[in-house]
Amino acid sequence: MELQHTPEEENRLQVAYLTPEMFEYYWPELQKILDMEPELWNKHYTKQNIYDRVHSKEIQVWVVFNGQIIRLVFFTQRYVSPNGVATLQIFWMYGVGLKEVMVLLEDVVDRFAAALDCTRLEVTGRKGFERLLAPFHPEYQYTVFSRPVRTVREN
On whether residue 42 sits in a domain, the answer given is yes
The CATH number covering residue 110 comes to 3.40.630.30
Is 54 a residue whose pLDDT tops 60? yes
DSSP state of 71: E
Q: Is residue 36 part of a domain?
A: yes
Residue 45 lies in a domain: yes
Residues 6+ apart with CB under 8 A from 32: none
> What is the per-residue pLDDT across 27-40, written as a single tens digit (0 to 9) for each?
998 899 899 888 88
* pTM confidence score: 0.77
pLDDT of 155 strictly over 80:
no
Residue 67 in domain: yes
155 occurs within a structural domain:
no
Q: Is the pLDDT of residue 154 over 70?
A: no
Count the residues in the chain: 155
Q: Tell me which range, 6-15, 25-34, 64-73, 127-136, is most confidently predicted by mean pLDDT.
A: 25-34
Residue 93 sits in which domain range?
Answer: 7-136
Count: domains in the chain: 1
Q: How confident is the model at residue 5 (pLDDT cuts 50, 70, 90)?
A: very low
The answer to whether residue 109 is domain-embedded is yes
Is 149 within the bounds of a domain?
no
Strand partners, 86: 80
